[in-house]
């Protein structure tokens, strides 16, 4: 796991409970591989003009990915063994994951596509289940992270941890 800007944590950790909770959340999300460097890139795009950009993108992502997951789900039901179609839908979802840095979810999307390539229906079903699970877990974690950021206020924004 790459060490993503964690070196100033010791300074930040001195700044109090909320900031500390934030850092712990960020480190956990990073260490567990939920999010990768791309998420840092997205956060780096925040400035005074767009102070909540990462949260806005995350909101867009969850709305869009719910739709894409539903597309895959319907395709699995309506078009049995249509691996090309299943793969095409999953490719879109994988792309979205990549853009926001959702690494665990992306990895499950890639497994699904591998199983499509092999023509393995059971493998596809299993990995699709994992995609949905990772989606739910990431949503929960990111909601908690952004909530902490909001509670921490401007000071929290200044101590936003590198993930």
Cβ at position 27, least distance to other proteins in Å: 22
Cα-flanking dihedrals φ and ψ of residue 102, to 5°?
-80, 80
Q: Site for other proteins (CB under 8 A): which residue of 33, 51, 95, 117?
A: 95
C-alpha distance from residue 141 to each of 15, 30, 34, 58, 110 (Å) = 22, 11, 9, 11, 22
Task: Mark residue 161 as left, alpha or beta (left: phi above 0; alpha: psi -120 to 50; beta: remaining).
Answer: beta
Binding status of residue 22 toward other proteins by CB under 8 A = no
Q: Site for other proteins (CB under 8 A): which residue of 42, 138, 149, 163?
A: 42
Binding status of residue 45 toward other proteins by CB under 8 A = yes
- Of the pair 71, 120, the CB lying nearest other proteins is at 71
Greatest extent of the chain over all pairs of C-alpha atoms, in Å: 56
Cβ at position 156, least distance to other proteins in Å: 21
141 is written with which tokens? 């974690």
What's the CA gap between 131 and 94, in Å, rounded?
10
Bridge partners, 102 (sequence order): 35
The site for other proteins, by CB under 8 A, has a size of 22
Binding status of residue 41 toward other proteins by CB under 8 A = yes
Q: Are 11 and 5 in contact (CB under 8 A)?
A: no
Q: Site for other proteins (CB under 8 A): which residue of 91, 126, 141, 144?
A: 91
Binding status of residue 92 toward other proteins by CB under 8 A = yes
Binding site for other proteins (CB under 8 A): 38, 41-42, 44-45, 47, 50, 53, 56-57, 60-61, 64, 91-92, 94-96, 98-101
């Amino acid at each position: 796991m790459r060490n993503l800007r964690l070196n100033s944590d010791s300074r930040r950790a001195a700044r109090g409970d909320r900031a500390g909770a934030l850092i712990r959340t960020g480190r956990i999300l990073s260490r567990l591989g939920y999010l990768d460097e791309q998420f840092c890139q997205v956060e780096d795009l925040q400035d005074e003009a767009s102070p909540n950009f990462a949260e806005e993108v995350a909101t867009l992502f969850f709305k869009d990915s719910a739709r894409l997951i539903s597309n895959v789900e319907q395709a699995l039901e309506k078009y049995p063994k249509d691996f090309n179609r299943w793969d095409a839908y999953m490719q879109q979802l994988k792309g979205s994951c990549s853009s926001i840095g959702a690494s665990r979810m992306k990895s499950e999307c890639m497994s699904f596509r591998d199983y499509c390539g092999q023509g393995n229906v059971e493998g596809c079903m299993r990995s699709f289940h994992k995609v949905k699970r990772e989606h739910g877990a990431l949503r929960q974690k990111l909601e908690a992270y952004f909530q902490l950021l909001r509670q921490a206020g401007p000071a929290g924004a200044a101590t936003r941890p590198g993930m």
